Chains A and B, each alone.
Chain A
């Protein structure tokens, strides 16, 4: 079963990586790179991506002529998605375990950030027992 693990970070919260000392930024990046590698090596990684900063985000709607109308920069947003992982695991418990490891990524001073990671099951095509 596949799960989407989303790392939401509050604006102005602890994940203000740009303001951290260089050494802490390096440690954080190294953790994230190593974490994705570890999931690949355990045969569970489907994909992992970090997202560009929210000040580049746009909201898009189709206009009456079908052309895109963009609208954007949302400094008032309380929370933004910083990145996500999709994992393919044998149980929900394993997905929670992976999420808790991601949550403990190092922050300022190397202390674990303990960020909230939202875990959502990815829907499958058809039910397994619908024989």
Chain B
């Protein structure tokens, strides 16, 4: 991977982090120790480089410093074991280091993809995979990750260390999976990147403001993944979806952090360059044939992003795309969105009929979003009393403060027009 032309030291470090870690793991075959050592080398670089200037070969510098740390660690471990007289390593640490020459270091082989596969292994819980990916591939410090998820640093350190133990225990080899396994694991990587993106995207304001860095980080990592597997249509679809969604960031919240739904957003605040990039990427991908859920979601986002207003959006096309998405994934949230699109094309009564059928789905029992959509459709159908009742019920059930505030405001607005 080529770093951008004038990267700041920080960007350079973050780009090099996964490559350096890959090289060190190949040498020492110990993911946990290598990961700790690379983190220390990154911290050393962050203080030394600005002071002493960039080393001639930053990548080699980092690999060397990290390798020395792992060797120190191995030596300390061996000494400890000797003291305890339990196990004595058959290979003295000097020789372990001598074995280390690896031509990959010289060729600049990029292990970033192998690392992503490892950090997003299905043996890990989503929260562990997210934390490990941000640290090992993203090069973020434990402190930064802890801050982003609003947990103490010690807790995040434990989460990462347990994730590394799980990987060790599961015996995942540090190599590329093949065939169907590869496709499934790539799916897991995309899912983790998508979760990081939405974690950051849903950040609103105040103390959570820094969380928006997470979507920037997810975008950076997804770009990286797209460069590594340029022919994968779903990876391109995911990148396009993130770009087309992130383009609306400035418009989706008001001055005090309140949510502004799509149909009421000030479209002049949308980022045209991100929309252009997302649309171009999607167009190139769709023309290639095979289509998956991320591409369909990106296509829906593109229809919205290219419309001059919510009414101008091509709702018939959106309806068709949601129908397609429904056939690909059995997700009740998709079905709810399908009902909204149905109402936009065929009127609120058609949408409400659809909701009645959906209410049987046990996954939606008592779900606030069902009430929220019903309230919205009842309002459009002119049943304000019903809409107020469902807005309020949805507000009682949501676990998001900004969504609750939005729903309560909708109920209050309708109540006031009634008087």
Known A126-B202, A126-B402, A130-B259; contact A43-B159, beta-carbon cutoff 8 A: yes
Interface stretch of the complex, out of A6-14, A15-23, A97-105, A117-125: A117-125
Query: A67 on the interface (CB 8 Å rule)?
Result: no
Query: B245 on the interface (CB 8 Å rule)?
Result: yes
Cα–Cα distance between A1 and B199 once the two chains are bound (Å): 11
Query: B187 on the interface (CB 8 Å rule)?
Result: no
In the complex, are the beta carbons of B155 and A126 less than 8 A apart? Answer: no
Chain B interface, >50% SS class: helix
In the complex, are the beta carbons of A40 and B158 less than 8 A apart? Answer: yes
Known A126-B403, A127-B402; contact A47-B202, beta-carbon cutoff 8 A: no
In the complex, are the beta carbons of A43 and B162 less than 8 A apart? Answer: yes
Kindly identify which residue among A46, A125, A129, A130 contacts B155, using a CB–CB cutoff of 8 Å: A46
Cα–Cα distance between A128 and B125 once the two chains are bound (Å): 18
Closest-by-CB residue of A relative to B158 is A43
Instruction: Count chain A CB atoms within 10 A of each CB in B150, B204, B211 and give the residue with the most.
Output: B150
Q: Which residues of the partner chain A approach B301 to less than 8 Å between Cβ atoms? A: 131
Residues of B in contact (CB 8 Å), total: 38
The distance from the CB of B417 to the nearest CB of chain A, in whole angstroms, is 25
Q: Which residues of the partner chain A approach B259 to less than 8 Å between Cβ atoms? A: 126, 130
The distance from the CB of B240 to the nearest CB of chain A, in whole angstroms, is 13
State which residues 200-227 of B face A: CB under 8 Å.
201-204, 208, 211
Closest-by-CB residue of A relative to B125 is A90
In the complex, are the beta carbons of A125 and B401 less than 8 A apart? Answer: yes
Query: A56 on the interface (CB 8 Å rule)?
Result: no
Cα–Cα distance between A124 and B198 once the two chains are bound (Å): 13
Cα–Cα distance between A40 and B152 once the two chains are bound (Å): 9
State which residues 67-98 of A face B: CB under 8 Å.
88, 90
In the complex, are the beta carbons of A131 and B400 less than 8 A apart? Answer: no
Closest-by-CB residue of B relative to A94 is B125
Cα–Cα distance between A128 and B403 once the two chains are bound (Å): 10
Cα–Cα distance between A127 and B261 once the two chains are bound (Å): 12
State which residues 234-251 of B face A: CB under 8 Å.
245
Closest-by-CB residue of A relative to B403 is A127
Residues of A in contact (CB 8 Å), total: 22
Q: Which residues of the partner chain B approach A2 to less than 8 Å between Cβ atoms? A: 150
Query: A62 on the interface (CB 8 Å rule)?
Result: no
Query: B151 on the interface (CB 8 Å rule)?
Result: yes
In the complex, are the beta carbons of B400 and A127 less than 8 A apart? Answer: yes
The distance from the CB of A91 to the nearest CB of chain B, in whole angstroms, is 9
Q: Which residues of the partner chain A approach B162 to less than 8 Å between Cβ atoms? A: 41-43
In the complex, are the beta carbons of B158 and A128 less than 8 A apart? Answer: no
Q: Which residues of the partner chain A approach B257 to less than 8 Å between Cβ atoms? A: 125
Cα–Cα distance between A128 and B151 once the two chains are bound (Å): 18
Instruction: Count chain B CB atoms within 10 A of each CB in A126, A127, A131 and give the residue with the most.
Output: A126
Cα–Cα distance between A121 and B159 once the two chains are bound (Å): 21
Cα–Cα distance between A43 and B259 once the two chains are bound (Å): 31
Closest-by-CB residue of A relative to B253 is A126
Q: Which residues of the partner chain B approach A24 to less than 8 Å between Cβ atoms? A: none
Known A46-B151, A88-B151; contact A124-B400, beta-carbon cutoff 8 A: yes
Q: Mark B153-181, 1 if CB is under 8 A from A, else 0.
A: 01110111110000000000000000000
Q: Which residues of the partner chain B approach A1 to less than 8 Å between Cβ atoms? A: 399
In the complex, are the beta carbons of B152 and A125 less than 8 A apart? Answer: no
The distance from the CB of A94 to the nearest CB of chain B, in whole angstroms, is 9
Cα–Cα distance between A44 and B149 once the two chains are bound (Å): 12
Known A46-B155, A88-B151, A130-B259; contact A125-B399, beta-carbon cutoff 8 A: no
Q: Which residues of the partner chain B approach A130 to less than 8 Å between Cβ atoms? A: 202, 259, 400, 403
Q: Report, nearest first, the 7 A-B pairs whose CB atoms are least far apart.
A: A43-B159, A126-B202, A43-B158, A127-B400, A127-B403, A123-B401, A126-B402
Residues in B lying within 8 Å of A, measured CB to CB: 125-128, 131, 149-152, 154-156, 158-162, 198-199, 201-204, 208, 211, 245, 257, 259, 301, 333, 369, 398-404
Residues in A lying within 8 Å of B, measured CB to CB: 1-2, 40-47, 88, 90, 121, 123-131
Q: Can you list 20 residue pairs at the A/B interface with Cβ under 8 Å?
A: A2-B150, A40-B154, A43-B127, A44-B155, A46-B155, A88-B127, A121-B399, A123-B399, A123-B400, A124-B202, A125-B202, A125-B204, A126-B202, A126-B400, A126-B401, A126-B402, A128-B198, A129-B198, A129-B369, A131-B198
